[in-house]
Structure 1
Amino acid sequence: MKKWIWLAAALLLALCAYVAAGPYLTIRAIQQAVQEDDTRALARQVDFPALRSSLKLQLDDYLVRSAGADAQGSALGQIGLRIASGVAGGAVDAMVTPVGLAAMMEGRRVWRRVDVRALPQQPAGEPAAKPLQDAERRYESPSRFTATVHDDAGRPVVFVLTRDGLRWRLSDIRLPL
């Protein structure tokens, strides 16, 4: 009887360890996918619909705050905000793809990814940069994990991983807008 209790306890402990290590394993899988330029592997680690939705909401909020109260109060301003919101939403849809996300994580601008000649060439013998390598990592809850990196201006960019069952996926990027 004691053997079954110990076996059940060991299995429960192994399951808890796997769930706790999940975000770190996901970050490692993202790093490998970006380094190997494997967009399929990257797509398995990202919840693209949730990520697109979050980024669209962030950009809409930024546009409304940037426009100010005067633009929001006038009919012409509201039309302009709707047009700008539609353009921003289209840009998010175009950029939040495995290729665009890999470029963003590598620190390259997405528009430069299209022109191979404009990409910075990696010096021979130097390893490629790992995205999220020097990130500040922490659990916000049992189902939410963040990895924070800083852009060139020192502003935080927060990558949010959420858990669905036993699987962790990148579901949000909080931009410093």
Structure 2
Amino acid sequence: MKKFLLSLILLAAVLAGLYLASPLYAVNGIRTALREDDAAALARHVDFPALQDNLRAQSEDFIARQAGPVIGDSLLGSVAMAVAGHLSGSLIDYVATPDGVGVLMRGRVAWRQGTASGLELDKPVSTEPAPDPFEHAHYRLQSHDRFSVGLDNPGQMPVEVVLRRQGLSWKVAEINLGEQDQG
């Protein structure tokens, strides 16, 4: 009886360890896919509909905060916000792809800022491998089905990647851009 009880406790400990390590396995798959620039492998770790919803909500919130209450009250302001919302929706459709997810996780943007002559494009693509965005990451198990990774990208925008449990696997459901609480 003691052997059976000891075996049962050992089995429970192994299963609990596997359960707690499973999001790290998914993060390792994402990290490897980014390092090898493998879009198909990265896509296996992303819930694109959930990610689109998350990015769309962030975009709408950002536009509303930038516009302020005065713009939303006028007819012209409402039209401008609708156009901005439509344009951001098109951008989100591009960003919620394996290539776009890789760009977001690295904290990079496609352009720096607009100039009088148009957009000033970012530096040309380098032949050097991109830095590992998970090198100085902060990991946090927030609940039984939510795991977050805070990515500190030196010189770039901080990013929080949120994975959600889907059955036995974990998938990226949110990429939160900007300041995060790393506590």
- TM-score greater than 0.5 by the shorter chain: yes
The TM-score normalised by the length of structure 1 is: 0.83
Q: Equivalents in 2 of 1:96, 1:15: separation in Å?
A: 34
Q: Equivalents in 1 of 2:107, 2:63: separation in Å?
A: 24
Matches within 5 A, 1:95-106: 95-106=95-106
1:138: which partner in 2?
Answer: 140
- Determine which of 129, 149, 152 is the counterpart of 1:150: 152
1:83–1:24 Cα change, 3 Å: same
3-state SS, counterpart of residue 104 of structure 2:
helix
Q: Which amino acid aligns with 2:158?
A: P
What is the CA-CA distance between 1:128 and the residue it aligns to?
A: 5.0
Stretches of structure 1 lacking an aligned partner (at least 5 in a row): none
Q: Decide whether the 8 Å contact of 2:140 with 2:148 is kept in 1.
A: yes
1:120: which partner in 2?
Answer: 126
Q: Equivalents in 1 of 2:84, 2:28: separation in Å?
A: 36
For residues 82-111 of structure 1, the C-alpha deviation after alignment (integer angstroms, 9 at most, x for no partner) is 111111011011122011212333454457
3-state SS, counterpart of residue 86 of structure 1:
helix
Q: Which runs of 4+ in 1 moved over 6 A?
A: none
Q: Equivalents in 1 of 2:88, 2:134: separation in Å?
A: 26
What is the CA-CA distance between 1:74 and the residue it aligns to?
A: 1.3
Instruction: State the aligned residue count.
Output: 169
What is the CA-CA distance between 1:151 and the residue it aligns to?
A: 4.4
1:153–1:35 Cα change, 3 Å: closer
**Range moving further from structure 2, 52-61 or 13-22:** 13-22
Asked if 1:57 is matched to 2:63, the reply is: no
What is the CA-CA distance between 1:153 and the residue it aligns to?
A: 5.5
Q: Equivalents in 1 of 2:16, 2:52: separation in Å?
A: 30
2:171: which partner in 1?
Answer: 169
Q: Equivalents in 2 of 1:130, 1:154: separation in Å?
A: 13
1:102–1:153 Cα change, 3 Å: closer
Q: Decide whether the 8 Å contact of 1:34 with 1:106 is kept in 2.
A: no
Q: How high is the sequence identity, in percent, across the aligned residues?
A: 35
Stretches of structure 2 lacking an aligned partner (at least 5 in a row): 112-120
Q: Which amino acid aligns with 2:21?
A: A
| RMSD, aligned α-carbons | 2.5
What is the CA-CA distance between 1:65 and the residue it aligns to?
A: 0.8
3-state SS, counterpart of residue 120 of structure 1:
coil
2:71: which partner in 1?
Answer: 71
Q: Equivalents in 1 of 2:103, 2:79: separation in Å?
A: 33
Q: Equivalents in 2 of 1:152, 1:74: separation in Å?
A: 40
